[in-house]
Amino acid sequence: MANSDPDKLMSKADKLTKLSFTRWSTDWKTATSLYEQAAVAYRFKRENEKAKEAFEKASRGQEMITSPWDAAKHLETAATLAKELGRLNEVADHYRRASELYMEAGRSQPASDALAKGASALEEGMPDEAIKMYTDACVILEEDNKEQMAFDLYRNVAAIYIKTERYTDAATFFLRLGVAADKSNAVNSQCKAYLSAIIVYLYAHDFAQAQKCYNDCSQVDAFLNSDQNRCAMKLLTAYEDGDAEEVKRAANSSTINHLDHVVIRLAKKLPTGDLSGLRKAEPGAEEGAVLDENDLT
């Protein structure tokens, strides 16, 4: 197969997909096989541009003969080649279409995986698109009641938000992970997610939001009775007391050292601002806030 002339295979395949005076019907089955042979041959020769085009056409052919699974596989390969060629927009398009094809085949897990692969490939070059793809991958799993399979995806999104200094969004995704963990009865992951969100708010020097997050999360019994809760309480108390050294001690606890690396790095930099203005607020300052216990459980 590697010795076949891929250019001739492509030319022959193209003719089979078009009508002419001498050809009154198309032959997508044969054409698809030829495109696949050409794709492998181009790849063997490291002609990635032509290989990508051949896999794209092979994918189209598999669609035409009603084989969405194989069509998706070919598009994933085309996406990999597009990444090697620096065509990031095509990477996104191909992985998204592959996901759609897997869904047509009734396979939600591979559909989510395709989006996650695309997101991973785009984290550096197109972080916003990566976030969208990771998020869509999460949604597919959530709708299929497979939240536990999405834990790493939530973490990946939060990590991108942290790298791009969008800390509120990062904390929101850690809380979303906590909700998914609650549905999956994954108590340890749930508590770690809530503590992570609190640390992110503290790193952003948003003590009020960190305190509110702690209060809300503490409505969940699993968190209220956890090591993560006690760690968060020590951090917040140290902030209220304006004790920077105690903040540093609490931030270096073993509980925090079991969190995601991106969160550990943030914790080790606490406190990030002046603590003198964070003395305990006057009683009743937050009494007007209404807590919705359904937010986190």
What are 133-177's pLDDT values in tens digits? 999 999 999 999 999 999 999 999 999 999 999 999 999 999 999
* pLDDT given for residue 290 in this prediction: 44
pLDDT at position 21: 60
Per-residue confidence (pLDDT) for residue 277, from 0 to 100: 72
Structure tokens at 259: 């969190």
How confident is the model at residue 185, as a pLDDT? 96
Q: What is the mean pLDDT of residues 50-73?
A: 98
Q: Output the pTM of the full model.
A: 0.88
